[in-house]
């Protein structure tokens, strides 16, 4: 059965995922560098990884499988999971696929270079109701697709 993996450090949509997972009775694995407070729910599992900066990313890539759902804002993690045929969703509701991950990686690198040159300051816009709604809609669409294809 497909699982949901959350790159949990700083993820702003954990509560939304918990509700959706409860509705569909899906297991959720939260992966972070430090323990997080989780609701008491047998569907939720907390994995704390120690080590380098990318230890949580490495753990997710090592454990996710085709048709699992990975929630992350990390484009490079998204790319690695897409290569494993996982369904990957950004916290603002954008799904990363084989068709769009290359341009997402290129945009990330361009923005990183512009920030280093001082041309761009600040980070992404904060979460708002519209982004949360888009996230929930896309997550539901992905789950419905997996159910239809009998992957869930």
What topology is assigned to 4-97+126-148 in CATH?
Rossmann fold (3.40.50)
pLDDT in tens, 43-68: 999 999 998 878 999 999 999 999 99
One DSSP character per residue, 14-60 reads HHHHHHHHHHHT--EEEEESS-----S-TTEEEEE--SSTTHHHHHH
Q: What is the value of pTM for the model shown?
A: 0.86
Per-domain residue ranges of the chain: 4-97+126-148
Residue located via tokens 């009998």: 150
> What pLDDT, on a 0 to 100 scale, did the predictor assign at position 87?
97
């Amino acid at each position: 059965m497909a699982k949901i993996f959350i790159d949990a450090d700083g993820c702003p949509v954990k509560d939304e995922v918990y509700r959706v997972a409860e509705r569909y009775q899906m297991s959720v694995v939260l992966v972070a560098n430090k323990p997080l407070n989780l609701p008491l729910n047998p569907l939720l599992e907390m994995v704390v990884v120690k080590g380098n900066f990318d230890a949580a990313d490495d753990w997710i890539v090592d454990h996710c499988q085709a048709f699992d759902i990975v929630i992350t804002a990390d484009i490079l993690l998204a790319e690695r999971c897409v290569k494993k045929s996982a369904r990957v969703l950004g916290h603002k509701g954008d799904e990363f696929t084989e068709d769009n991950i290359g341009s997402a990686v290129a945009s990330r690198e361009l923005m990183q270079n512009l920030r280093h040159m001082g041309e761009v300051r600040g980070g992404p816009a904060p979460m708002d109701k519209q982004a949360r709604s888009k996230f929930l809609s896309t997550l539901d669409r992905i789950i419905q697709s997996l159910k239809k294809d009998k992957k869930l």
